[in-house]
């Protein structure tokens, strides 16, 4: 076999780049795979509202809401990103049925959780994660009976420690299909935050027209605003899709500026869950 100069150059280049080629081959694209699970839910339930700035009476009625709940993580990574968009509207009456209130809120949360432990239970898995969310809430409460000070703003931000248990288990009638079902319970308790509130006897006209600030931005803690949120959901396959049924309980309270507020809501949730797997291809 005749070895020419060109052949020598080609062989030299192959030998030079062969270490790079051998390193690139074991690169598993699954290591960069990002898993995104998004659930879109609608909910309806019963709510109990009290805001002594507007009325000393409790108002009870219907609450409707929409929730978009997203969990993101990378394969073989224990850090989980949580993203929640929630909007709700409530229409409530007092006990005498002669007064009504309308409430509306948009709530946004972004959080980082850490997957601390995974238990293998036969062919199923139980996961425990914990972390914290940053929460922003924009809302209002309107009382149809009041001519003076008929509305109240609901503006606050919070740091919310959270914890969750997730149970991935087999289809009970088709054991070959792995992790078709997912049961998840998540709990969040606002720890510290900042809340807007008029002071006792202060009107919004005084705050915004006369610039009469009177302790209207109030630091909140678990002491003056003890609150809790919890959500229990079950994802299950049906007709080539994954549906979700669940329960959400919100128990929000505050006692600031000599004013009391609470919103106790229990909601039934129905929705659809979609899971996406995104892989970054290295070139």
Tokens 């899709």 sit on residue: 241
Q: Is residue 14 part of a domain?
A: no
Predicted confidence (pLDDT) at residue 283 exceeds the cutoff of 90? no
Predicted confidence (pLDDT) at residue 6 exceeds the cutoff of 70? no
Q: Is residue 9 part of a domain?
A: no
pLDDT digits (tens, 9 = 90+) for 142-162: 999 988 889 999 999 999 999
142: Cβ contacts below 8 Å, ≥ 6 apart: 101, 102, 103, 150, 151, 152
Of residues 68 and 7, more confidently modeled:
68
How confident is the model over 250-272, as a mean pLDDT? 97
Q: What is the pTM of this model?
A: 0.83
**pLDDT given for residue 228 in this prediction:** 97
How confident is the model over 237-254, as a mean pLDDT? 94
Q: Is residue 71 part of a domain?
A: yes
Q: Is residue 40 part of a domain?
A: yes
List, in sequence order, every residue forming a beta bridge with 238; answer none if it has no partner: 241
CATH at 153 = 2.40.128.100
Mean pLDDT of all residues belonging to the chain:
87
Predicted confidence band at 12 (pLDDT cuts at 50, 70, 90)?
very low
Q: CA-to-CA distance for 24 and 113, rounded, in angstroms? A: 32
Q: Is residue 22 part of a domain?
A: no
Predicted confidence (pLDDT) at residue 198 exceeds the cutoff of 50? yes
Q: How is residue 106 written in tokens?
A: 């948009």
Q: Is residue 24 part of a domain?
A: no
Predicted confidence band at 209 (pLDDT cuts at 50, 70, 90)?
confident
Q: Is residue 20 part of a domain?
A: no
pLDDT digits (tens, 9 = 90+) for 20-58: 343 444 445 566 688 999 999 999 999 999 999 999 999
Predicted confidence (pLDDT) at residue 86 exceeds the cutoff of 70? yes
Q: CA-to-CA distance for 237 and 224, rounded, in angstroms? A: 43
With a pLDDT cut of 90, the percent of the chain lying above it is: 67
* End-to-end Cα separation, the chain, in angstroms: 36
Query: Which domain range does residue 99 map to?
Result: 33-279
Count of structural domains within the chain: 1
Q: Is residue 101 part of a domain?
A: yes
How confident is the model over 211-240, as a mean pLDDT? 93
Nearest to 35 by CA among 280, 282, 283, 281: 280
């Amino acid at each position: 076999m005749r070895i020419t100069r060109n052949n020598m150059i080609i062989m030299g280049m192959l030998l030079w780049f062969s270490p790079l080629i051998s390193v690139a081959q074991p690169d598993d694209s699954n290591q960069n795979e990002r898993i995104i699970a998004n659930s879109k839910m609608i909910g309806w339930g019963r709510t109990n509202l009290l805001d002594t700035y507007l009325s000393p009476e409790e108002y009870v009625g219907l609450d409707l809401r929409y929730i978009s709940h997203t969990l993101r993580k990378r394969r073989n990574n224990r850090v989980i990103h949580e993203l929640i968009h929630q909007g709700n509207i409530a229409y409530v009456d007092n006990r005498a049925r002669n007064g009504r209130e309308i409430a509306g809120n948009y709530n946004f949360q972004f959080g980082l959780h850490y997957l601390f432990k995974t238990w293998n239970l036969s062919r199923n898995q139980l996961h425990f994660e914990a972390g914290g969310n940053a929460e922003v809430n924009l809302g209002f409460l309107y009382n149809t009976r009041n001519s003076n000070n008929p509305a109240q703003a609901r503006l606050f931000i919070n740091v919310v420690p959270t914890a969750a248990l997730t149970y991935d288990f087999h289809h009970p009638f088709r054991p070959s299909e792995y992790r078709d079902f997912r049961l998840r319970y998540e709990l969040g308790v606002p720890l510290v935050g900042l809340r807007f509130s008029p002071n006792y006897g202060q009107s919004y006209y005084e705050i915004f027209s006369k610039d009469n600030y009177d302790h209207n931005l109030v630091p909140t803690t678990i002491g003056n605003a003890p609150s809790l949120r919890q959500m229990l959901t079950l994802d299950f396959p049906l007709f080539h899709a994954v549906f979700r049924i669940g329960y959400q309980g919100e128990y929000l309270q505050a006692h600031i500026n000599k004013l009391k507020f609470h919103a106790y809501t229990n909601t039934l949730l129905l929705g659809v869950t979609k899971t996406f797997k995104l892989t970054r291809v290295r070139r």
